[in-house]
Amino acid sequence: MSCKRSLICMAVIALFVAFENSELHGLSVVASAQKADPKKFRHAVTRSEDAGRIITMLAVAPDLTIPKEIVEKAQAIAVFPKVVRETAFIMQASKGYGVISARQSDGWTLPAFYQFGGGGYGNPFADSDAHAVILLFMSKDALGLFEKGAVDLKNEHKAVEGPVGTLTATQQKELEQAHVLAYAYFNGRLNGAAFGKSFWKAFGLNPINNINKPVYGIKGREVLAGTQIDPATVIPGISSFTDALRKYYSHQPVSESIPK
């Protein structure tokens, strides 16, 4: 492994440790299905609400949005409402917190809470402002990556830049084998190619089970697998992201491939 790649890996690992510590601060983990204290998880509710608002804005945008025919084929959708740049060791890295929901026969799962980490790059739109990252998992194979918890998107499962607006024939052909599509969103603008191809080479997702377990009584991967959760135990507002998906993208995927 090259020195440069090692430093990037070290930076991402260091950020994940820092994220975990920040999420642990002030929280007591309880592995039960009893209803969690809403006051302790207001930040989780806010995260789901912010992600839901982004889905709503994209769904009603007339032009610069994710093609609906692609969204309706997605097996899971992730939104990280606030991604910022931080420094670990001598490397710059992007980090953020967000939610992921997987499509089910009766709609979408409740949002599983995950953290985002990518090496070496900042906001593609502006140096000083946070932006959102949106990921569409287009195949059951890609969704299966969550079964072990943490997810590294690389090789055949690397994230590729998603199309914006009308889906062209050329894009349809290029994306037929895509497993994960990626977008950046900032101040009303959506860009599928904002980061450049090199960004996704040092990129991963990690479950925030210090939220998932107290809120649901199960881990993030179990939430995405469709494990049944008693609605009576769910904190009000936690389902905001899922509610937006159900409102705008309730159709079942017909095929795992990009529509032709």
Residue 255 placed within a domain: no
d(C-alpha 68, C-alpha 259), whole Å: 11
Residue 80 placed within a domain: yes
d(C-alpha 206, C-alpha 210), whole Å: 11
Residue 258 placed within a domain: no
Please check the confidence at residue 205 and state whether its pLDDT lies above 90.
no
For the question of whether the overall pTM of this predicted structure is more than 0.85, the answer is: no
For residue range 27-76, what is the model confidence (pLDDT) as tens digits?
A: 333 334 566 677 789 999 999 999 999 999 888 876 678 888 888 889 99
For residue range 99-117, what is the model confidence (pLDDT) as tens digits?
A: 999 999 889 999 999 998 8
Can you tell me which residue has the tokens 């199309």? 163
**Whole domain around residue 24: which residue ranges?**
3-248
Residue 226 placed within a domain: yes
For residue range 217-251, what is the model confidence (pLDDT) as tens digits?
A: 999 999 999 999 998 899 999 999 999 999 988 76
* Winning range, highest mean pLDDT, from 68-77, 118-127, 153-162: 68-77
DSSP string covering 124-178: SS-SSS-EEEEEEE-SHHHHGGGGGSSEE--GGG-EEEPP-SSPPHHHHHHTTT-
CB of 64 within 8 A of CB of 164?
yes
Residue 254 placed within a domain: no
Residue 256 placed within a domain: no
Please check the confidence at residue 258 and state whether its pLDDT lies above 50.
no
Q: Tell me, what DSSP letter sits at residue 24?
A: H
Please report, as a single letter, which amino acid is at residue 163.
P
Count of structural domains within the chain: 1
Residue 167 placed within a domain: yes
Residue 211 placed within a domain: yes
